[in-house]
Amino acid sequence: MTGISLRHWGCIVFGLIAAACAPVCAAPDTGQLAEQYAPKLERILTENIASFWYDKSLDERHGGYTINFGPRSEPKGPGVKMLVTQARTVWLFSRLARAGYRRDEYLKAADHGYRFLTEKMWDPIHGGFYWEVDATGQKKRKPNKHLYGQSFALYALSEYYLASGKHEALDFAVRFFNLLEDKAHDDVYGGYLEAFEPDWTATPASENCYMGVPANLKLMNTHLHLMEALTTFYRASKHPLARERLLELIQIQSNTVVRKDLGACTDKYERDWTPRLDGDYAQVSYGHDIENIWLLIDACNAAGVPNHPFADLYETLFAYSLKYGYDPDKGCVYYTGPFNQPATDLSVSWWVQAETLASALHMYRFTGHPKYRSVFEKSFAYIDKHMVDWDAGEWHHMIMPDGTIRGDKASPWKAGYHNGRAMIECLEILESLKK
C-alpha cells in the first residue's frame, strides 16, 4: 500500500463495494417506456380481451360463463363448465373492476360467475368445488376434488371480495380455506395433497387424477397456483394461518421444486417431495418457470418478505429459459424441452407469451437490467403481431412451428386469465416506473 494512505485506501474499498451493490444498470428512461407501451397494453386489455369475454361468455340462462368458442371465435354450443376456467373468469372480471375498468359492468359480470360457483359448483354435502359440471350446473360430470381447481376457486373468491367489498364472499373464502387446511394440507411433509374423491378421501394412487398423472403425486404447477391463491387470500383476509401457509409455499416454489444442478424447475414429486425425473417427467416447462418468478415476487410482497435474497434464483431461472427456450429473433418462448438442451416442443402458446411479458417487466423493475427490457419489448412485438386476433377477438391458442394457428379461443383450459392478468400487471408496473 506504498503511497496510499489508509484513509484513501478506505475510500477506494468503499467505492468498490458501493459499485458492486448498485443496480446492474440505471434504468433508461422508464417514463418513455410507459408512454410507449401503456396505451398499447390497455387497448389489448380493453378492446381485445375484456370485451371478448364480456360480450360472449355470460350465460344468462343457466348462470356462469359459456367458455366454448372456436379458432375464429365461432360459438361451439353450450359446452361444459369446468372449475378452473369458471373461477378464472370470475377472477378476471373482479380484477378488471378493481383496476377501475367499467367497474359496475364488470363487477356485475363477476357476481354472475360467483353465484354459479357457490350455488352450482359447490358440493353442499362435503364442501369443496366439483371439477366439472354440465352447462346447466345440474349434472356433476366430474365430481372429484383436485387442489389445482380448488386453488382457482379460492383465488376467485378472494379477488371478488377485494373488488366488491362483500363480506359474504370473504366469509365464504375463509370457510373454504379452513376446509382445505383440514382436508388437504400435508402436516407431515409440507405442501398439499392434491387428488380426492367427492367425500375428500384420497383418490387411489393407482388411478390418474384430473391432471393426467397418478393421483398420489404433488405438482409444482398445483403448488404454484396455490401460492398465487394464498397471496390474494392473505391480502383479502390477513388470516395469520394463511400467511404461514403462504411462507411454506414460497419455500416450496423457491427451493423444493428447483433442481439445483439444473437451474430450472421440474413438476412431479412423490408425497415426501422426492422428485420424479423418469420418462417424460425429465423436462422443463419454460412458461411455468418464468411464471414462478413473478408469482414469487408477488407472494413475497404480500407476505412482507424481502425479495432480494431470492434475486439469484430469479435470474437463474430466467437465464435457463432464455438459453434453451427463447427465440430472440422471433421474440417468443417455446413450450418445453429436455434438461440442458434446446426446446423440443417448438409450439408457441398464448399463456407462455403472456407470462413471459409480465415476468420480464417485473424483472426489469427489480434489477434495472436492459436484457429484461429487451425480452419485454420483443415479447410484446410478437404478441401484438402474431397472438392478438383483432378481427375475431381474444388471442390465438397456439402457433405451430410452421406458422399455422391451432386451438380454440375459449375452452375448458383457455379463458382470459393469463393474458388479461399479464396486461393488468404490466400496466401497473409501467405506472410505478413512471413514478
Give a yes or no: residue 289 inside a domain: yes
The number of folded domains in the chain is: 1
Give a yes or no: residue 17 inside a domain: no
Q: Which residues pair with 270 in a beta bridge?
A: none
Indicate whether this model's pTM tops 0.75. yes
Give a yes or no: residue 11 inside a domain: no
Give a yes or no: residue 9 inside a domain: no
Read off the DSSP letter of residue 139: S
For residues 124 and 130, the answer to whether their CB atoms sit within 8 Å is no
Q: What is the mean pLDDT of residues 279-299?
A: 97
Range of the domain at 135: 26-434
Give a yes or no: residue 367 inside a domain: yes
Alpha helix segments (H runs only) across 252-285: none
pLDDT score recorded for residue 17? 32
Q: What is the mean pLDDT of residues 64-76?
A: 98
Question: Measured between alpha carbons, how far is 218 from 339 in angstroms, rounded to an integer?
Answer: 20
Q: What is the mean pLDDT of residues 122-135?
A: 98
Buried b (16+ CB within 10 A) or exposed e, 267-281: bbbebeeebbeeeee
Give a yes or no: residue 15 inside a domain: no
Chain mean pLDDT for the chain = 94
Give a yes or no: residue 48 inside a domain: yes
Question: Measured between alpha carbons, how far is 419 from 401 in angstroms, rounded to an integer?
Answer: 21
Query: Tens digits of per-residue pLDDT, 132-162?
Result: 999 999 999 999 999 999 999 999 999 999 9
Give the CATH number of the domain where residue 117 resides: 1.50.10.10
User: CA triplet 162, 163, 169: central angle to 5 degrees?
Assistant: 60
Q: What is the mean pLDDT of residues 164-190?
A: 98
Give a yes or no: residue 5 inside a domain: no
Q: What is the mean pLDDT of residues 116-144?
A: 98
Q: What is the mean pLDDT of residues 19-27?
A: 39
